[in-house]
Amino acid sequence: MRRRLLAPAVLLLATALGCTEADPGASGPPPALPAAEPEVRPLGRIVPLPASVKPGGAPYALTAATRVGASGHPGVRAVAEQLAAHLRPATGFRLPVVADPAADLALALDPAAAALGDEGYELRSAPGRLTLTARTPAGLYRGVQTVRQQLPADIERTTVRHRSWKIAGGTVRDVPRFPYRGAMLDVARHFFTVDEVKAYVDRVALYKYNVLHLHLSDDQGWRIAVASRPRLTAVGAAAEVGGGPGGFYTREQYRELVRYAAARHIEVVPEIDLPGHTNAALVSYPELTCDGKAPEPHTGIDTGFSSLCAEKEETYAFAADVLGEIAALTPGRFLHIGGDEADSTAPADYRAMTDRFQPLVARHGKKVMAWHQLAVDGVPAPGTLIQYWGLDRTPGAEKEKVAEAVRAGAGVVLSPADRAYLDMKYADDTPLGLRWAGTVSVRRSYEWDPGAYLPGVPESSVAGVEAPLWTETLSTPEHLDTMAFPRLPGLAELGWSPAGGRDWDTYRVRLGEQAHRWDALGIAWYRSPEVPWPAGR
Ligand code: ACM
């Protein structure tokens, strides 16, 4: 996947963002923000930072008479309905969606706006008129997230608030830096229900993520029904870390998740981890092991002990069945075949298996996505998307293997574990999370440049960024919230915003202001001492 070349001018930098009274030094907690939000949020003071902002003029105000205008295009109408549904509970306004382009809050497609690309949008705000224009419904949907964030955080509440609802005057013209901005959820180590995953989708949608990567199988559990292999769920889904009951998605539930994400212009990338991380599959079908013996179900958190058997033809029949069914359920472009931590697979066997698994993905018209070991120990098929999860200190030779794959035509998604893994502890005293990659502070997760991260991998080969959330220590939606917030929004900004407009000292103020919104949304965020939070929170 190649990045489109888009270079919009960054018109607004620190000056318009203004008033960062927070201490720029790293030591000590920064001074608190005012307890209350401003009545009108300065234009562009949102996360992710827009590419271009021209503030000016008086604000637009939502009123009881506001109508939401949408053309007859079903995609536009759907986004307009989503926006109106979002704005109604807190405003109490009727907000009818009408086919009138002169409505005061109007959404429109402009197919000729090539510079807006697949997800860009333009927002114009003035008294009596707010317009959102994009080349695609996805662009309008991203723009809707800007509308939400420009409004007071109370807009996220589910009961009526009697107050003004203003959006600062001016123009935002915004396009993403990278086309791939992913959030990964591990539903294998601990299982999360359809509703819990939907709640996570809602959270990532607010920050303009466009991929939900679901890690659907691992040593502890198999989480998706496969009709041709019923024991995967009848047997392999019944465990999770710590001995809980586990669980799985039926095919219809998985389709429902795909639809839910698609309605938010988010593509689902399903992962079936092969040939390691397969204990749950081996428990279900012992004929897949080399010795034919069923291993014990695994409820611990160690890795690297399980492997499919390269010599057995059953292995390839199994992979063909599973990947074929998952491909049929998934409209998205990619099937992720894992490939990581196959520590008990002999190198020749790894190569033999991954050489045969990859064409199974292509057979169904999908592209391979895999963890970067495929580039180290295997040979990625042309067009593969390699997901890098190494560390700053990963040996150069390993990084060079990724660069080699890129020269052979692969793209890269960056998830460096010591930057982007949301399950790493923030600090030594963080109760949840792991620390094998070190602690990952909010600042550390924010201060790196995906376009210049891996030597020999030019920005043009970086598809984007992904924030994985592994769940060995996380078993409730509140746990997910605590590890994702406040780092998830920063990784969204790395994927979306131009590198030149970002810096930690202004970012941490914008981030602190988001706390009003997280409280309104009921998000169980972590109160990092690195960020200036609103006083009293
Ligand atoms: C991984 O964290 N094993 C991809």
Question: Is the predicted pLDDT of residue 16 greater than 50, yes or no?
Answer: no
Residue nearest to atom 3 of ligand 1 (CA): 340
Cα(457) to centroid of ligand 1, in Å? 21
- Indicate the residue type of 103: A
Confidence at residue 4, expressed as pLDDT on a 0 to 100 scale: 30
3-class DSSP string for 314-378: HHHHHHHHHHHHHHHHCCCCEEEEECCCCCCCCHHHHHHHHHHHHHHHHHCCCEEEEECHHHHHC
423 lines ligand 1 (CB under 6 A): no
Rounded distance between C-alpha atoms, residue 315 and residue 311, angstroms: 8
Q: What confidence tens digit (pLDDT) does each residue in 225-275 have?
A: 999 999 999 999 999 999 999 999 999 999 999 999 999 999 999 999 999
Q: Which ligand 1 atom sits nearest the alpha carbon of residue 341?
A: 3
Question: Three-state SS for 249?
Answer: strand
**Range list of H helices, 211-312:** 231-234, 251-263, 279-284
pLDDT level of residue 20 (50, 70, 90 thresholds): very low
Could you tell me the two tokens for 250? Answer: 């039926």
Question: Is the predicted pLDDT of residue 12 greater than 80, yes or no?
Answer: no
Question: Three-state SS for 114?
Answer: helix
Residue nearest to atom 1 of ligand 1 (CA): 340
Q: Which ligand 1 atom sits nearest the alpha carbon of residue 387?
A: 4
Average pLDDT over every residue of 93-110: 97
pLDDT level of residue 28 (50, 70, 90 thresholds): low
Q: What confidence tens digit (pLDDT) does each residue in 140-169 have?
A: 999 999 999 999 999 999 999 999 999 999
Q: Is 110 exposed, middle or buried (0-12, 13-18, 19+ CB in 10 A)?
A: middle
Q: Which ligand 1 atom sits nearest the alpha carbon of residue 338?
A: 4
Cα(9) to centroid of ligand 1, in Å? 37
Confidence at residue 208, expressed as pLDDT on a 0 to 100 scale: 99
53 strand-pairing partners: 172
Query: Among residues 119, 240, 325, 341, which one is catalytic?
Result: 341
Confidence at residue 510, expressed as pLDDT on a 0 to 100 scale: 97
466 lines ligand 1 (CB under 6 A): no
Could you tell me the two tokens for 87? Answer: 């704005």
Cα(346) to centroid of ligand 1, in Å? 19
Task: Report the mean per-residue pLDDT for the chain.
Answer: 94
Rounded distance between C-alpha atoms, residue 428 and residue 438, angstroms: 9
Average pLDDT over every residue of 423-435: 98
341 lines ligand 1 (CB under 6 A): yes
Average pLDDT over every residue of 444-467: 98
pLDDT level of residue 537 (50, 70, 90 thresholds): confident
Residue 196 appears among annotated catalytic residues = no
Question: Is the predicted pLDDT of residue 19 greater than 50, yes or no?
Answer: no
340 lines ligand 1 (CB under 6 A): yes
Q: What confidence tens digit (pLDDT) does each residue in 350-406 have?
A: 999 999 999 999 999 999 999 999 999 999 999 999 999 999 999 999 999 999 999
> Which mutation among 189, 341, 343, 402 tests ligand 1's pocket best, with the greatest number of atoms within 8 A of CB?
341
- Picking from 232, 233, 224, 280, the residue whose alpha carbon sits closest to that of residue 256 is 224
Rounded distance between C-alpha atoms, residue 507 and residue 352, angstroms: 47
Fold classified for 52-174: Chitobiase; domain 2 (3.30.379)
Cα(116) to centroid of ligand 1, in Å? 34
Cα(252) to centroid of ligand 1, in Å? 28
Residue nearest to atom 2 of ligand 1 (CA): 389
371 lines ligand 1 (CB under 6 A): yes
> Which mutation among 470, 471, 472 tests ligand 1's pocket best, with the greatest number of atoms within 8 A of CB?
470
Query: Beta strands 129-134 and 121-126: pairing type?
Result: antiparallel
Whole-prediction pTM:
0.94
Cα(435) to centroid of ligand 1, in Å? 13
Q: Which ligand 1 atom sits nearest the alpha carbon of residue 389?
A: 4
Rounded distance between C-alpha atoms, residue 464 and residue 466, angstroms: 7
Cα(488) to centroid of ligand 1, in Å? 18
Put the strands of the sheet holding 105-109 in their side by side order: 52-55, 170-174, 121-126, 129-134, 105-109, 68-70, 97-98
Confidence at residue 7, expressed as pLDDT on a 0 to 100 scale: 31
Phi/psi of residue 104, nearest 5 degrees = -70, -25
> Which mutation among 371, 374, 387, 469 tests ligand 1's pocket best, with the greatest number of atoms within 8 A of CB?
371
CATH number attached to the domain at 177-393+411-452+465-496 = 3.20.20.80
Cα(326) to centroid of ligand 1, in Å? 21
Q: Which ligand 1 atom sits nearest the alpha carbon of residue 371?
A: 4
273 lines ligand 1 (CB under 6 A): no
Greatest CA separation for the chain: 74
Confidence at residue 71, expressed as pLDDT on a 0 to 100 scale: 84
389 lines ligand 1 (CB under 6 A): yes
Confidence at residue 9, expressed as pLDDT on a 0 to 100 scale: 32
pLDDT level of residue 413 (50, 70, 90 thresholds): very high
Q: What confidence tens digit (pLDDT) does each residue in 459-498 have?
A: 999 999 999 999 999 999 999 999 999 999 999 999 999 9
Question: Is the predicted pLDDT of residue 223 greater than 80, yes or no?
Answer: yes
Tell me the angle at which helices 194-206 and 251-263 cross, rounded to the nearest 10 degrees.
20
Question: Is the predicted pLDDT of residue 77 greater than 50, yes or no?
Answer: yes
Per-domain residue ranges of the chain = 52-174, 177-393+411-452+465-496
Question: Is the predicted pLDDT of residue 22 greater than 70, yes or no?
Answer: no
Q: Which ligand 1 atom sits nearest the alpha carbon of residue 303?
A: 3
Confidence at residue 436, expressed as pLDDT on a 0 to 100 scale: 98
Q: Do domains 52-174 and 177-393+411-452+465-496 have the same CATH topology?
A: no
Query: Beta strands 121-126 and 170-174: pairing type?
Result: antiparallel
Is residue 126 within 8 Å of 60, Cβ to Cβ? yes
Is residue 413 within 8 Å of 387, Cβ to Cβ? yes
